Chains A and B, each alone.
Chain A
Amino acid sequence: MIAEVGLAALWLATALAILQLVAGVLGLKTSDARMAAFSTYARQAAVVQAFLAVLSFGLLLWAFAITDLSIKLVATNSHSMKPLIYKLTGTWGNHEGSMLLWVAVLALSGGLLAGLERRLQERTMSATLAVQGFVALGFYAFLLLSSNPFERLPIPAFEGSGLNPLLQDIGLAIHPPTLYVGYVGLSVAFSLAMGALTTKQVTPDFAKVMRPWVLFAWVFLTLGITAGSYWAYYELGWGGWWFWDPVENASLMPWLAATALLHSVSVLAARDALRTWTIMLGVLAFSMSMLGTFLVRSGVLTSVHAFAVDPERGTFILVLLGLYIGGSLAIFAVRASSIAEGKRFSATSREGALVFNNVMLSAILAIVLLGTLYPLLTEAFDVRVSVGPPYFNPAGAIFAVPMFLVMAVGPLLRWKNDKPARIKVELVLIASILIGAVVLIAVLGDYSVLAVLGLALSVALGAAAFLPLRGRKIGRTPLSTWGMIMAHLGVAVSLFGMASESAFTQERLAAVAPGTTEEIAGWTVTLDSVDPVAGPNWTAIEARLSASRNGGEAISLTPQARNFWAPSQATSESALITRWDGQLYAVIGDTAGIDAEGNQRWQLRIWWKPFVTFIWYGGLLISLGGILAIIGRVRVDLRRRRAVQLGNERRADQAALEETASPPKAEPEPV
């Protein structure tokens, strides 16, 4: 029953998406009074559709919770012996379930937009909802025609065939859904951009409507990338936190575009400038999230994340990609010149700095995009290449370094036109911190140029982040300014973690027998024993290590090399000790022969990574900044709405008073 209700809800939602599309298009013709009603239909269709799509996902969640093995998806991806939390996360740990999650979030945000947003011109809203319905329709078709999550088995399975053990982790519970919410938030920004482009209403008001959605998407993308990076760091057991893998890049590229969009939409809202650029970025950000989905699902690129790869689905997504992105870029090409470029500004102004930052972000995006797609291009000529850190790190840094420099100064500039002389003190302060840090680090040790630059920039950026507070009353600083300060500080903190990790990490790889001691960066690590252990669906060998720092109290560490059954797969569970100034990271490997006394030896790998945790603390700070900005913006909007409402009421009262004062006019006779 559950599966049939879920499927029915999905079909009904699809029908409503068609209604939303048709009514939205008809609603565009508000010149005809009867047509105005269509816009209302589009709104209602979006709201009910949100309810149905969420219901459908809820039902699939339920089917996984009770391990309904008559449903094919549950039978192939779950197992009755799995802990409940992983049964639930298993719902979206597969292609069909994750696509259903995607449409549920898409419909939910469409419903929210349709139900709550009243500031936009109704024509623009109609166009936006039509685009939204069109986007949703493609995904419904994808789900229902090629990846039905509710398909029944003719005979219920006796037992489920598990879930990829690598994905059996709490990281999975957070990472993909967070990214999805971010991607979907960008789809709303995309719909709004296309709506405004269609009605040529690219105005500051439109930017104010779009901004919370961009912020919202951006916060989730930031959290998703941060969580994903930490997950890869401790789960893959390679000690790295970013591998420039195509799928990682696929999540980074929308973030870069969204970051650029976030800044340009602010310029549009505050200064009515950068109109076409904002629209372009709106399309680009969504294109990047679609591209990410395509690369992940189609298997055209080789990646460590090769899940649910299927060329047929790839073709489907490519067709969707062509319709959405090709269509919107075609509209953009034809329409963009009809939106005037907006207000002018001088190069040394807040806008000028933001434009520079935008161009640098776009350049980094282009670098990542090129590096990610390059293997695809060469493979067309039968040459197999793999693009990695030697390309991405320096090529990205060429644009990241100037961007960070301008980022330190930009928030101090005034809108429209400013003179660098006005902020002389701040400029000198930032420059001296930067130069001082470079010299100090270069004297202290022999590190790579990028690491030294990164460390120095992070210190200067961290200090500069607080400079916009100068001359302001702390208590009266708007929440959105605090948001900016937090986010910029987060970038500095994250950058510090990355640079520190790459400059100061120490590594020890040894073949050791129980009882042996290894030294690393002031830590003494002893291998006490290696024993077999068993979990609910795996067996493992577990090393018992005791680590003590500078002769302090010994802390126990238990890295494991796990073997899962159903399906059989080996994974490595790293063990970490977190201190404020870094992490000790230990991994146990295979057996490594026998030592002179005939004891079994094991491969043991230990890292000391100073301040590595700052990478993710920075990510959290950035998201916190985004959340503060959303709260600040929404509060201001609500206050303004309340003020407008009060003003209207006062005017109405005034009119009523005047009316009672003057003699009532004669009512026209009804015909």
Chain B
Amino acid sequence: MRTIFFIPLALFLFFAGLAGYMLTQEKDQTVASAMIDKSLPEFNLEPAYDGLPGASRRDFIGGEPKLLNVWASWCLPCIAEAPQLETLKERGVEIIGIAIRDKPEDVANFLARHGNPYTRIGADDISALQIEIGAAGVPETFVIDGDGNIRYQHIGDIRENDVPKLLQILEDVR
């Protein structure tokens, strides 16, 4: 037996180990916002429907930290996270919604069907604010502190086990 003939086997085992390890790793395909720990940009959005006022940067300044929820009535995961937003609201969290590329009647319809956890909803018809704060899709939820700074970004729908984490972060950034 010559050692040189074991080299291919060794190389292969290294590859197989690496590939096996990578298969077990969850693939993170999300893009984190570059705006985290920066101040919210200036904005002033029209109401998304008749029931609630629109949203602006001013609404985040002062008082408790708030959640900024980027969503849309046409988005299926947004239906999935509606109960969790409801829970957060019951725990006293103020949630300001940004409706992306939506129509007033659809927004009203969605809220009637899946509940309304929001205090304000701004209409972002051309995804301008969405892009400015670095949200790649809907839904995404940002924690904004009392000084109007973006402190945390949650990508995707909020699951039940995300709720305590979000509450903790809201507490921490106080």
* Residues in A lying within 8 Å of B, measured CB to CB: 276, 280, 283-284, 287, 294, 298-300, 311, 314-315, 318, 321-322, 325-326, 329-330, 332-334, 336-337, 373, 376-377, 379-380
Contact = CB atoms under 8 A, between A and B. Distances in A.
Contacts of B12: 287, 325-326, 329
A311 B23 contact: yes
A604 B55 CA distance: 40
B43 interface: no
Nearest to B29: A302
Nearest to A301: B22
Given A314-B23, A315-B23, A330 B18 contact: no
Contacts of A337: 1-2, 5
B9 A333 contact: yes
B5 A333 contact: yes
B-side binding surface: helix, strand, loop or mixed?
helix
A333 to B, nearest CB: 4
Given A332-B5, A332-B8, A333-B5, A326 B16 contact: yes
A298 B22 CA distance: 10
Contacts of B6: 333
Given A299-B27, A337-B1, A318 B19 contact: yes
B20 interface: yes
B145 to A, nearest CB: 28
Contacts of B1: 333-334, 337
B20 A336 contact: no
9 contacts: A284-B8, A298-B23, A330-B9, A332-B5, A332-B8, A333-B1, A333-B5, A333-B9, A336-B5
A-side binding surface: helix, strand, loop or mixed?
helix
Contacts of A325: 12
Q: Which 8 A-B pairs have the closest CB atoms?
A: A329-B9, A336-B5, A333-B6, A333-B5, A337-B2, A333-B9, A300-B22, A329-B8
Interface string B7-36: 011001101101111110101000000000
Contact of B2 (A315, A322, A336): A336
B58 to A, nearest CB: 34
A381 to B, nearest CB: 11
A336 B9 CA distance: 12
Nearest to A315: B23
A325 B25 CA distance: 23
A238 B12 CA distance: 35
Interface in B122-158: none
B16 A380 contact: no
B23 A300 contact: yes
Contacts of B21: 380
B19 to A, nearest CB: 6
A174 B2 CA distance: 44
Given A330-B9, A332-B8, A377 B16 contact: no
A287 B13 CA distance: 13
B27 A326 contact: no
Contacts of A287: 12
A318 B19 CA distance: 8
Nearest to B9: A329
Contacts of A299: 27
A298 B19 CA distance: 10
Contacts of A298: 19, 23
A380 B21 CA distance: 8
A492 B75 CA distance: 55
Interface in B62-102: none
Contact of B13 (A314, A326, A373, A379): A326
- Interface size bucket, B side? 10 to 19
B5 A376 contact: no
Contact of A318 (B8, B9, B13, B16): B16
A172 to B, nearest CB: 26
B5 A318 contact: no
Given A329-B9, A336-B2, A322 B23 contact: no
A332 B9 contact: yes
Contact of B23 (A280, A318, A332, A333): A318
B9 A326 contact: yes
Given A280-B8, A326-B12, A333-B1, A380 B22 contact: yes
Contacts of B2: 336-337
> Counting chain A CB atoms within 10 Å of each CB, which of B1, B2, B5, B27 scores highest?
B5
A321 B19 CA distance: 11
Nearest to A331: B9
B13 to A, nearest CB: 7
A318 B20 contact: yes
B7 to A, nearest CB: 8
A319 to B, nearest CB: 9
Contacts of B5: 276, 332-334, 336-337
A615 to B, nearest CB: 31
Contacts of A336: 2, 5
Contacts of A380: 18, 21-22, 25
Given A298-B19, A333-B6, 6 more contacts: A284-B8, A326-B13, A329-B9, A332-B9, A337-B2, A380-B18
A318 B21 CA distance: 11
Contacts of A376: 18-19, 22
A322 B20 CA distance: 10
A18 B36 CA distance: 59
> Counting chain B CB atoms within 10 Å of each CB, which of A300, A332, A377 scores highest?
A300
Given A326-B13, A334-B1, A300 B19 contact: yes
A313 to B, nearest CB: 10
Contacts of A300: 19, 22-23
Contacts of A294: 19
A294 B15 CA distance: 12
B26 to A, nearest CB: 9
A206 B23 CA distance: 39
A280 to B, nearest CB: 7
A376 B15 CA distance: 10
A276 B12 CA distance: 18
Nearest to B13: A326
Contacts of A333: 1, 5-6, 8-9
A650 B94 CA distance: 102
B1 to A, nearest CB: 6
Contacts of A315: 20, 23
A379 B24 CA distance: 13
Contacts of B23: 298, 300, 311, 314-315, 318
Contacts of A284: 8
Nearest to A322: B16
Contacts of B13: 326
Nearest to A326: B12
A318 B1 CA distance: 28
A315 B25 CA distance: 12
A330 B11 CA distance: 12
Nearest to B20: A318
A321 B16 contact: yes
A411 B23 CA distance: 46
Contacts of B25: 380
Nearest to B2: A337
A315 B19 CA distance: 9
A283 B8 CA distance: 10
A380 B14 CA distance: 13
A379 B8 contact: no
A314 B24 CA distance: 10
